[in-house]
Amino acid sequence: MRTVLVPHQIAVPPHDERRHSGAITILHGQTMGATWTTNLVLPDGANAEDIERRILSNLDSVNAQMSTWLPTSDISVFNRAPAGHWQDLPDDFFHVIQTAIDIATDTGGAFDPTVGHLTNAWGFGPITNPFRIPPVEIVNEARSAIGWGRVLLDVVNRRVHQPGGAYLDFSAIAKGFAVDKIAEDLLSQGIRNFLVEIGGELRGEGFKGGDQPWWVAIESPDIESQSLRQSCDFLIALHGLSVATSGDYRRWFEIGGKIIAHTFDPRTGLPLANRLASVSVVAKSCMKADALATALMVLGPADGISYAERNEIAALFVIRDGAQLRPVMSAAMAAMT
């Protein structure tokens, strides 16, 4: 049976927007090790090439600030900086790290932007390492450098302090932020009807034509093949909403018949082994949905559901029960059915 999720309020589109029904422009490319796609209903006088240039400029800006794969990025400069260094930050970077630290604090470190050394140790980061199960001493060394509380922010001067050895990694929040950045830029240009997607994180505004919102199937893992499929079981109308998914099927490697997924518990230094196959979060901000999906994935079924309920987060948990996948919705998500 299909579950259909809709926002609590959907504004009826003006008559002049309904006449654009079916006239959808699709722009796409690659960024952040993933693909990006933007579907737009262009208003009269809008130029698709100009819009694409602005999207690419926004993506370049996010990468130049937050990509650990670029040695000249702001985040890479911070990661190489000596202990005691204060680094001035661009506004976007400061906004992301401030949000990341807030979520890390609130989740007790289930989400932690200083997890970079651990990501590198297991072979998922920019530091050249093969996919491997690292020695215990390497994991312990990486864990010793983790700790969002060690990274101090100067809110007045918009700068960050390197305590020594801290390695930031925004891979669980930057794509969501980039989706929001593109969406806000489109809205600033008077474009009200679009769907933005980067690496499976999405935000929809307005309508895709006529009076139909942007219908999106929520990702779900395929238990047979350790890969994703587009679930026909959960369909959501992204009208002024974002959805982000964290799952153990997105990036992984296999050693000795054991699946090692790319999401780690910063508190233990180990890959997750908590029966969660995926968590999808629905929120206005794609950046927050992105980070919260990872945090809930790390917290696991019991603590994750409890956290979602306490904080009124709309979340879908897909739990592995033996050979079955069992979906569980938080109350805020169930209220959208």
Q: Give per-residue pLDDT as tens, 53-102.
A: 999 999 999 999 999 999 999 999 999 999 999 999 999 999 999 999 99
The whole domain housing 87 covers 75-161
Residue 290 near residue 263 (C-beta atoms within 8 A): no
Residue 109 near residue 266 (C-beta atoms within 8 A): yes
Q: What is the CATH classification number for the domain harbouring 104?
A: 1.10.3980.10
Residue type, 102: D
Instruction: Examine residue 99 and state whether it is found in any structural domain, yes or no.
Output: yes
Number of domains present in the structure of the chain: 1
Strand blocks (E) in the chain:
3-5, 25-31, 34-40, 86-88, 152-154, 159-161, 194-198, 201-205, 215-222, 227-237, 241-247, 252-255, 258-261, 264-265, 270-271, 276-283, 314-321, 324-329
Positive or negative torsion for Cα 122, 124, 129, 131? positive
If pLDDT is split at 50, 70 and 90, which confidence band does 256 have? Answer: low
Angle value at C-alpha 313, between 310 and 314, nearest 5 degrees: 135
Instruction: Examine residue 108 and state whether it is found in any structural domain, yes or no.
Output: yes
Q: Give per-residue pLDDT as tens, 3-39.
A: 888 887 666 555 555 444 458 999 999 998 889 999 9
Instruction: Examine residue 134 and state whether it is found in any structural domain, yes or no.
Output: yes
Q: How far apart are CA 258 and CA 132, in angstroms?
A: 11
**Mean pLDDT over each residue of the chain, to the nearest integer:** 87
Give the pLDDT of residue 274: 82
Instruction: Examine residue 278 and state whether it is found in any structural domain, yes or no.
Output: no
Nearest CA among 211, 173, 205 for reference residue 186 = 205
Instruction: Examine residue 137 and state whether it is found in any structural domain, yes or no.
Output: yes
Instruction: Examine residue 156 and state whether it is found in any structural domain, yes or no.
Output: yes
Q: How far apart are CA 337 and CA 334, in angstroms?
A: 5
Instruction: Examine residue 115 and state whether it is found in any structural domain, yes or no.
Output: yes
Instruction: Examine residue 66 and state whether it is found in any structural domain, yes or no.
Output: no
If pLDDT is split at 50, 70 and 90, which confidence band does 227 have? Answer: very low
Q: Is the pTM of this model over 0.85?
A: yes
Q: Give per-residue pLDDT as tens, 170-203.
A: 999 999 999 999 999 999 999 999 999 999 999 9
